[in-house]
Amino acid sequence: MPTLRIALIYLLTLLNTTLTFAAPIAHEAYIWRRQWSTELTQSICEHANLLSGYTVLAAEITPSSRGDQVTQIKFDAVALKQAQVPVTLAIRVGNYPGPFTPDASTTQTLLHAVGETLKHARQQGLQPAAIEIDFDCATRKLRGYQAWLEQLRPVLDGVPLSITTLPTWMSSPDDFAALVQAADHYVLQAHSIQRPTLPHKAFKLCDAKQTLQWAQQASEIGHPFHLALPTYGYQLSFDSTGKLVRVDAENEPLQTDFNLTVEELSADPVEMAQLINSLQATRPEHCQGVIWYRLPSPDERLNWDAATWRAVMQGDVALPEWQIQAVPQPNGLVEIQLTHTSPIANQPPAGICVQWKQADALAWDGQRNFTVTQPTNKALTWSRPVDCPTLAQGERWTLGWIRFDTETPLQLSIIQ
């Protein structure tokens, strides 16, 4: 019996260790909107059961020598309470070189903004889980930023303090460690660390391999943090010299100046899903989870759709799957339609080829900027444009049409 008892204890210990190791990584999401919408509040409610918390943009401070400007965001406290998950309120601070002393006007602005944010939330029945300060501080000013955090404690009245941090700050390890330890928690932003400088240059919004290295480096400090990963995209506008002159994101009006070269840069869902799998397998000790920037909403074009985001959170790296159809229309017309069936949104394939034997094509055309070429008199090819949006799961596009002189069977194929 003693042998059996020892074996059972060993087995239970092994099972417990395995279950701890295999626990799913926790996910949270930023709600970073200045103007809320019905679609956004619906997304908040729909995804709350998948998340461990929301971090909501609540106020913005724009420092200025002529007087700091503070903008309080009108967030939907009712929707946030109905979500029934912890809510952190974020205060964004714009470019500011210092000073960080108690008597500095911007220090007083920050202290007052934090107090007003807490007061406003509580008046609406919302008790914040934490206050997060989002300030892109210069690395050489981290000690000053630390002084700011220490001055915030009396205003917080016991509410936990979080901050967003940049990986570049770890180049000053002592200052970085002192800064994050002045907060209760921090977020390590692993996206948009650099910006592209030339059009058509290969560039990643977030590099999975580099992110894992940053996360491990941060974990060595021994302080709890979340890793911020992207769901969004940018529209980048370059002038005739190749200079980056404008970056459009979130719900800003998109660039339509035809004198500029416009490109779109988006987070790669397959690479992010692979990163989630890597974190699940070998998560750094002090990494408490992932926080996504930002919660997908149907009214945002430069963001993943909800199905893509959910698939990425599960580590789904499914390759794109397509269905192509020739749909007969009146008077000999046939529409060429493409449907995306896999969960992660993707650009259409490079091309679609249509072949036949027993008829003559009288006319044809492309839609959605697809171009049509005729390799033979019994074949047509639709080619994807350079800048082409992605299709979400279940989305169907009509790529163009053909008019035949008589009905004929068609053979359709995908060109990768």
Residue 205 exposed, middle or buried by CB count within 10 Å (0-12, 13-18, 19+):
buried
Do 117 and 111 contact (CB within 8 A), yes or no? no
* pTM for this model (two decimals): 0.85
Least Cα distance to 255 among 237, 270, 272 occurs for 237
* CATH number for the domain formed by residue range(s) 322-415: 2.60.40
Span 278-320, pLDDT tens digits: 999 999 999 999 999 999 999 998 899 999 999 999 998 877 8
Backbone phi and psi for residue 400, each to the nearest 5 degrees, phi listed first:
165, -165
The CATH fold assigned to 25-313 is: TIM Barrel (3.20.20)
Q: Quick one: 107 exposed, middle or buried, by C-beta within 10 A (0-12, 13-18, 19+)?
A: buried
Provide the pLDDT for residue 314. Answer: 94
Average pLDDT over residues 215-239: 94
Domain borders along the chain are 25-313, 322-415
Residue type, 412: L
Do the beta carbons of residue 137 and residue 85 sit within 8 Å?
no
Model confidence pLDDT, tens digit, residues 321-342: 999 999 999 988 999 999 999 8
pLDDT digits (tens, 9 = 90+) for 257-277: 667 877 788 899 999 999 999
